[in-house]
Amino acid sequence: MATDKKLRSYDWFGKSDKMGFVHRSWLRNQGYPDDYFKGRPVIGICNTWSELTPCNGHLRDFAEVVKRGVIEAGGFPLEFPVTSLGETIMRPTTMLFRNLAAMDTEESIRANPLDGVVLLTGCDKTTPSTLMGACSVDLPTIVVPGGPMLNGRYRGECVGSGSFNWLHKEKQKVANFSDADIHEMEIGAARSQGHCMTMGTASTMACMVEALGLTLPGAAAIPAVDSRKKVMAQLSGRRIVEMVKEDLTLSKVLTRKAFENAIVVNAAVGGSTNFIIHLLAIAGRLGVELNLEDFDTIGSKIPLLVNLKPSGKYLMEDFYYAGGLPVVLKEMQQYLHNEAITVNGRPIGENNAEIPCYNNDVIVSVDAPLQKEAGIAVLKGNLCENGAIIKPSAASPELMKHHGRAVVFETIEDYHARIDDPELDIDETCVIVLKGVGPKGYPGMPEVGNVDLPEKLLRKGVRDMVRISDGRMSGTAAGTVVLHVSPESAVGGTLALVMDGDMIELDVANRRLHLDVSEEELQKRRAAWIPPAPMAARGYVRIHIEHVQQAHLGADLDVLRGGSGSEVTRDLH
C-alpha cells in the first residue's frame, strides 16, 4: 500500500479499507507490480490521439515514450483518453467542442487518482481545451506538444499545410490549376506526421505553452518525426514526477506575468488570432485578470521576428533548424518578465539566455525586425461595443484605413449562394459583412471570417478586401479581416443591424470600427430585429448555446469559468 500521505493518490491506493482494496485490486488486472502502489506519484497521461485527428495520429506512440520517462523517475504512469478535436475533419467547427473537451479533461483528472498530469497535444483546440480543463483542477502539469509536420512540397517548392486552402479558389478560377495540379498539391501539402507547419493555430498554441512556461525549453518547434521530439517527451515524463514532489502546480506557473509573456511572444512570432480567444479562456479558469485590451496594450507594439507563413516566407521545420522559440525568447528579453518560473523550476530568462540563432533570415534580430510593430490590434466603435480584432501583419497596408459600402450576408449559406453571382453589386472598395458566425449564432464561431473574394473580382486581380464578421480566421490565413466582433449578431449586437449600402469606417491606427448610421436609425432597426432561432434544441449544442460567453471573454461556458480544485470527498461504493 502507498505510504506517502502527501500524494493525492494516497486516498485511492494507500488505505487498507474496502475501498483501498477495490482501487488496487482491479488495476492489478493490467499486470502492475506491487511496488507501483507503494508511494509512487501517479501520473496521468492525457492523450488526444485519434485517427479522426490527423495532426495527433502519432500521439499513441508518444504516450509510450512519456511513460518510459515517468517510470525512470519513479512514477506510475496511467494513460487516459479525452475528446479529441480534429480541425480538418469535425463539423461544424471544433471550436463548438473545445469547451466539451475541456470539461472532459477536467472531470477525468479530478475523478481519478492522479498526482500530476502530462498533456499530449497537437491540433489547434487540443492544446487550449486540455489546458483549460487541467487549470480548473490545478495539479502539477506539463505539456508535450506533438510537433509540426515536415515542410510541404510541390514541384520543388515549399508549401504550407493550410495556407493553400485559402488559395484554392484563386488557383482554380484564375491561375487555371488543373485537377491534376490540385491533386498533386493535396498529396504533397501534408506529408508527415504532425500538425500544420505554418505559424497557424496549432504552431501558435505550441509556442504559447512554451512561452507560458509549461513545456521544457525548446519543445514547441521540434518536428513530430524528429527523434529529438521523443527525447523531449521522455524528459517531460521524468520531469513531471519531480514537479509532483515539488508541488509545482499550474497556478504557480501561470501567473499574470506568464500570460503577459505569452502575449509578447505571440506578437513576435506572428501568431494566430485564435491565440486571443484561447488565452482569455485559460486565464478565466485560473482567475488571472486578463482582458481583450491587454492584447493590444501589451502586444501591438512588439517587433515581428519570425519569417513564417502566413506572415512570411518559411515554415516550422525551418524555424526549428534556426533555433526555434528559445531564440525568440532570448531576443525578446527586454520585453519579457524573465523571472517568470517554468515547469523545469527555472526562470524563463535563464532557460533561454545562451541560445544561438542558426539562420538570421528565419529569425531576425530585435534590432532589425521584419516589422517594427506586429501583434494584434483591438478595435472599438459602435459596430463592436465590446471589441473586435485584426492582425496587421497579415493585412494589406493600404486597407488599414478604409471607408467602404457594406455588402451583407446574413448567414454563411447566404454567402455561398450569392458571392459568385455575376450580378452581385460589389467591387474592391466594398466591405464584406458576414453575420451569424459567432459563438452562439453558428454555433461555435467557425474559421470563416476570411471568406473568399467574389470570382469576378479575383479575375480582375483583386486579392484582398476588408471583411468583417463575428467569427474567427484560421491561423494559416491572411487578409484584412476584422474578427471576433462582440457582441455577435445572434444576440443583437450592432452587427445584426448592418444593411447593404451602409458605410463602414475601419481605422486601425486609431483602433476604430464604426458604422455610419445614426443612433436614431439604429434604434429603429433594433426594435424591428427578430432574434434567429437557436440552431439546436437538445444535447451539448443546446448547452453550448445557452451558456457560451462572448468572444471578448474567451467564449468559454459561463458555468466552467474558474475551477473546482482537485478534492473529491465522496467514494464510489
User: At residue 453, does pLDDT exceed 90?
Assistant: yes
Residue 473 within any structural domain of the chain: yes
| pLDDT at residue 502, as a whole number | 98
Other CB atoms within 10 Å distance of the CB of residue 546: 13
pLDDT reading at 230 higher than 80: yes
pLDDT-based confidence at residue 473 (cuts at 50, 70, 90) = very high
What's the mean pLDDT in 224-242? 98
E strands present in 240-345: none
Query: Whole-angstrom Cα distance, residue 392 to residue 310?
Result: 12
Per-residue pLDDT band for 164 (boundaries 50, 70, 90) equals low
5-42: per-residue pLDDT in tens? 799 999 999 999 999 999 999 999 999 999 999 999 99
β-pair type (503-507, 512-515): antiparallel
Check whether 131 has a pLDDT greater than 90: yes
564 grid coordinates: 473546482
Q: How many CB atoms lie within 10 A of CB 354?
A: 8
Asked if pLDDT for residue 169 goes beyond 80, the answer is no
Q: How confident is the model at residue 165 (pLDDT cuts 50, 70, 90)?
A: low
Over residues 185-204, the pLDDT tens digits come to: 778 788 999 999 999 999 99
Q: Inform me whether the pLDDT recorded for 1 exceeds 50.
A: no
Average pLDDT over residues 487-500: 98
Q: Answer yes or no: is 446 within a domain.
A: yes
Nearest-angstrom CA–CA distance, 407 and 405: 7
| CA separation for the pair 60, 49 (Å, rounded) | 6
411 residue type, one letter: T
User: What does each C-alpha distance from 398 to 175, 240, 312, 392 come to in angstroms?
Assistant: 24, 49, 18, 11
Maximum distance among all Cα pairs of the chain, rounded to whole angstroms:
79
**Under a CB-based contact definition with an 8 Å cutoff, are residues 308 and 316 in contact?**
yes
Number of domains in the chain: 1
Over 60: is that where the pLDDT of 233 sits?
A: yes
Q: What is the pLDDT of residues 377-395, one digit of tens each?
A: 999 999 999 999 999 988 9
Q: Quick check: is 336 in a domain?
A: no
pLDDT in tens, 323-340: 999 999 999 999 999 999
Kindly report the average pLDDT of the chain as a whole number: 95
In this model, does residue 161 exceed pLDDT 80? no
pLDDT exceeds 90 at position 347:
yes
Q: Which residue range(s) make up the domain with 421?
A: 377-532
293 pLDDT more than 70: yes
Instruction: Give the model's pLDDT for residue 173.
Output: 73
The cell for 449 is: 471570417
Residue 166: pLDDT above 60? no
What's the DSSP call for residue 360?
T
Q: Are the CB atoms for 56 and 122 separated by under 8 Å?
A: yes
pLDDT band at 303 (very low <50, low <70, confident <90, very high): very high
Cβ burial, residue 343 (10 Å; 0-12/13-18/19+):
buried
> Residue 437 is which amino acid?
V
186 located within any domain: no
> Is 486 domain-assigned?
yes
* 177 assigned to some structural domain: no
Decide which of 263 and 176 is more confident.
263
Query: Lowest mean pLDDT: which of 69-83, 166-180, 268-282, 285-299?
Result: 166-180
Averaged pLDDT for residues 457-469: 96
205 within 8 A of 277, measured Cβ to Cβ = no
Comparing 157-171, 231-245, 304-318, which segment has the lowest mean pLDDT? 157-171
CA–CA dist 367, 228 (Å, integer):
31
What is residue 406's three-state secondary structure?
A: strand
Q: Is the residue at 470 inside a domain?
A: yes
pLDDT at position 3, please? 59
Residues 6+ apart with CB under 8 A from 475: 124, 162, 196, 198, 199, 200, 201, 202, 203, 204, 271, 272, 273, 274, 275, 310
Q: What is the pLDDT of residues 518-544, one digit of tens each?
A: 999 999 999 999 999 999 999 999 999
Residue 522 inside a domain? The answer is yes
- Residue-wise pLDDT for 79-128, tens only, equals 999 999 999 999 999 999 999 999 999 999 999 999 999 999 999 999 99
Number of H-type helices and E-type strands within the chain: 20, 14
Please check the confidence at residue 160 and state whether its pLDDT lies above 90.
no
DSSP reduced 3-state for 557 = strand
CATH number at residue 445: 3.50.30.80
Is residue 275 within 8 A of residue 299, CB to CB? The reply is no
pLDDT at site 311: 82
Share of the chain above pLDDT 70, in %: 98
**Across 505-527, average pLDDT:** 98
Which residue would you say has higher pLDDT here, 116 or 178?
Answer: 116
- With beta carbons less than 8 A apart as the criterion, state whether 484 and 276 touch: yes
C-beta neighbour count of 256 within 10 angstroms: 15
Distance in angstroms (rounded) separating the CA atoms of residues 543 and 559: 10
Contact call for residues 254 and 135 (beta carbons, < 8 A): yes
